[in-house]
Structures are given as structure tokens and as C-alpha cells.
A and B are shown apart, each in its own frame.
Chain A
Amino acid sequence: MAEHTVKAFDEDITRIRGLIAEMGGLAEVAVQEAMEALVNSNEELADSVVVRDKKIDALEVEVDKLAVRVIALRAPMADDLREVIAALKISGVLERIGDYAKNIAKRVGRIEGRKPFEPLTLLSAMGEVAEEMVHDVLTAYGARDVVLAREVVERDHKVDAFYNSLFRNLVSFMMENPATISSAAQLLFIARNLERIGDHATNVAEMVHYAATGDYPPEEE
């Protein structure tokens, strides 16, 4: 892309993109480590995920301030405008992804009786799909890769399918083992969080698509 006549405008846009990339990196790691903490019952790691969420929140505020400033001072047009609007929305979504990761981490200590059981394996597979979506959508953002963004959108149904099957699985597990209901309920919430992370990764993908083309990706049914 050609440079702006006003160089500071380019610097602002670059800075916004850098902040989004940083936020995305932190959110991605948060999801990954929250799941790792869950699978390995690593409460120390879980706590550190919770603490680090503050950094993501702070970055969101920074992106918002900078985006508002760019809109006020530079009145961006066309692809610049879409870039700034997309950044505003993406930062909000990444902050939510961070919150879901934090929520998963907080539940790690509440799961009792750590003998491995089947739903946990399913959950960890679901986590991998969600993590990959977050990872790929950030790659798509960095490279303005519309094809990859669409691919992420299409992948969301996988996470939904995992959620449905986990739900059934956990309900029957609870019926068979009433003593584990409290732990299994925690897993159900975690599955729900992962499902939401998938949805939010999809939202980011839509904004990447919008910023690059001016259109939203075609709706899938």
C-alpha cells in the first residue's frame, strides 16, 4: 500500500495494527495456557493466566484511545476508515477472548478428583480447534489474508459440533456419576467458553474480511 502524504498517519495506523497484534498474541497464549493448566491441573499456571488478563484489558483501552484520536484528527477514509473501525471492534473481541480464557483458568482449581475421564480428552481436542482459530485469524489479520479469514469462519461449525457432543457426553456422565456433577458442571462451562471463543474468532475473521474488502464474508447456512 502506498504511503500517506502525512507520515504521522501511517505511523498511527502501524501503531494500531501493532497493538492489535500484541493483544492477539496475549489472548492466544491465554487460551492455550488455560487449557494446558486445565489438562495438567496446573493451578499455578492458571493463576498466572488470570493475572495476565489485565494486560489485555489495558491494551484494549489503548487501542480505543488511539482509534478515537485517529478518527478525530485524521478523518480516515475508505480502507483507512475500515482499518480503524475494524481495529476498534477487533480489540473489543480480543478482550472478550481473554476474559473467556481467564474464566477457564479460574475453574481449574474447582475440578475435584483428577482421575482422567473421557469428557476431558474431548474438551482438550475442542480447545485445540478454538486455539487454532484464534491463531489463524491473527495470522489473517497480520497478512490481510481474506482467504484464511474465510477459512476460519468456516471452521466455527467444528467448535459448535464439539460443544454439542460434549454437552451430551457430560450430561450422561453426570447421570452415571452423580458424585462428579460439580466438576462436570465446571467442564460444561469451560466447553461453553471455548464455544464462545470460536464465535469471537469468527467475528475477528469477519472484521479482517471487512477491512480488506469492504464486504462481510458470505453467510453460511
Chain B
Amino acid sequence: MVSNQPSADTMVPTVEFADANSDLTPKMSARNVCVYYGEKKAIDDVSIDIQTKYVTAFIGPSGCGKSTFLRSLNRMNDTISSARVTGDINLDGEDIHAMDVVHLRARVGMVFQKPNPFPKSIFENIAYGPRIHGLADGKQDLDEIVEKSLRRAGLWDEVKDRLQESGTALSGGQQQRLCIARAIAVDPEVILMDEPCSALDPIATARIEELIDELRGRYAIVIVTHSMQQAARVSQRTAFFHLGKMVEYGVTSDIFTNPREERTKDYITGRYG
């Protein structure tokens, strides 16, 4: 059974894994979202709730729309002139399309597939955001934010003695953690990650996964990944996308041991055409 109409069942999976201190009001909610590139409908009527303290994984074959949908959550699609988004996307109940986009992206941060540090010092990479958003009150405050962000990203000990070196001189895994530190420096509520480990080796990947797990206590995290094992390891909820539709959304352990939809099963078991 695949319904395109949002129902309580498909938008919010059963909360059997919710722990006592979890907040079940959605941080972000999308209703009947469609994304078009020119005439082409890339996302077809997707409705989903994203909660704080949970990692939500988007999985699906290439071209299924999972990254497109992720990018619509902080209006990255605005930068593509042919892209058009319909439907409602709310952050804490507020329409994101009515918000100032710079402010929105501070609240909904993003980490990309390839680490993309600014060609500036490690310090400046982190300090840039808080500075332009006016979050730091003086140099000392800025120093604290930089240290706190690097600590949370698990990078502080590795870079504390060379903060003035270029961010691009770090290894790939360190660069990606630098980008995560940069995203959390502006104190976001949601972090979107678009295949954050696909350019990293297994050790660097494990460190990012460990980091995601530590960060989820504080933020709502949405991760797009091609690695099914990664989705199974890091997320508590998983949404499967196929041909622009969200086919199934549920508790991660259910999706990977006993998916309800045949298409989900075929994909995760490696039977997809």
C-alpha cells in the first residue's frame, strides 16, 4: 500500500522508540511538498515530520530526489533558477519561505558531500558565521565560540595549536569535521548532511558517525546517504525515496529488518533493478 496522501501513519512513524525526554513536536514539518526543475517534477507530494534529538536518514537510488528534498529544507533550491517548490515547509510552525533566507540557513545548517572549507584559516572558517550573524560579542567571545564548536566537532585537540593555518591544509576527514564545526558555530537547530562521508575513508567515516551520534542530543539531524549500513547505524528514522516519492518512512530498525513496502525491501536487499 503506497498512499501519496499524507496520513498520520506515513508522516510520523510510531514512536515506540521515543525515550522519556524526547520532544515529539516536529522541529520541521513538510506537507505535500513538490519540487520542479523546469517541467520535471523531481519531488512528488512528500510529507514528513523531522524531530529534534533524532537522526533521520534519507535513502534511495541515485536520482530518487532525496538530495533535492533535503536541499528544499533550507531553501538551497532557491539558488537554482529553474527550481520551483510547492507545498508547505515549516520550522517550528513557521513557514520557511516567509523567512529571511540567511537567517533560515543559520537555523538549518548544511554539510555537503565534499568538504568545502573556505580558503582561509581554521579559525576564520568557524568565526565567519558567528561574526556575520552578530553572535559574538568581542574577540574573547568569538574565541570561545570557535573552541566550543571545534570541541563539539571533535577536532579541537587536533588543531588547537595551528588555528591560523589554512583549513584546506587539513586531511579530508578533518576538513569535513571543520565544516561540521562551521555549521554548528552559528548554533543551528537542524543540521542537514548530504552524503557527508562519501569522500572519506572508513576511519574518518567512523569518526563522523560517532560525531553525528554525539550531536543528535542537541539538534535535529537529517542525513542523505548512499550507504545503507550507515543509515542503519546512525539514524533512528529512515525515509526511503524512489522516483521522487517518499515510499516508506519508519523506525530505522523496522525499515532494515522488516520493511513494509516491496520497493523498500528490493532496494535495501540489493535487488533494485
Point out residues on A near B: beta carbons under 8 Å. 1-6, 9, 74-82, 213-215
Contacts and interface: CB of A to CB of B under 8 A. Distances in A.
B259 A75 contact: no
Given A6-B270, A9-B270, A78-B256, 19 more contacts: A1-B271, A2-B266, A2-B271, A5-B270, A76-B269, A77-B228, A77-B232, A77-B256, A77-B257, A77-B268, A77-B269, A78-B257, A78-B258, A80-B269, A80-B270, A81-B257, A82-B257, A213-B258, A214-B257
Contact of A78 (B229, B265, B272): B265
Given A75-B229, A77-B228, A214 B269 contact: no
A214 B265 CA distance: 12
A6 B266 CA distance: 13
Given A75-B229, A77-B228, A4 B257 contact: no
The 8 closest A-B pairs by CB, nearest first: A214-B258, A2-B271, A77-B268, A80-B269, A4-B270, A77-B269, A78-B265, A78-B269
29 contacts: A1-B271, A2-B266, A3-B271, A4-B269, A4-B270, A4-B271, A5-B270, A5-B271, A5-B272, A9-B270, A74-B270, A75-B228, A77-B232, A77-B268, A77-B270, A78-B256, A78-B258, A78-B259, A78-B268, A78-B269, A79-B265, A79-B269, A80-B269, A80-B270, A82-B257, A82-B258, A214-B257, A214-B258, A215-B258
A77 B232 CA distance: 10
Nearest to A9: B270
A78 to B, nearest CB: 5
A78 B269 CA distance: 7
A58 to B, nearest CB: 30
Nearest to A85: B257
Nearest to A2: B271
A9 B232 CA distance: 20
Contacts of A77: 228, 232, 256-257, 268-270
B234 to A, nearest CB: 15
Interface string B38-52: 000000000000000
B188 to A, nearest CB: 32
Contacts of B271: 1-5
Interface in B242-273: 256-259, 265-266, 268-272
A213 B258 CA distance: 8
Contacts of A215: 258
A24 to B, nearest CB: 25
Contacts of B272: 5
A221 B257 CA distance: 28
A78 B259 CA distance: 7
A215 to B, nearest CB: 8
A79 B28 CA distance: 32
A74 B259 CA distance: 19
A82 B229 CA distance: 16
Nearest to A82: B257
Contacts of A78: 256-259, 265, 268-269
B262 to A, nearest CB: 9
A213 B257 CA distance: 10
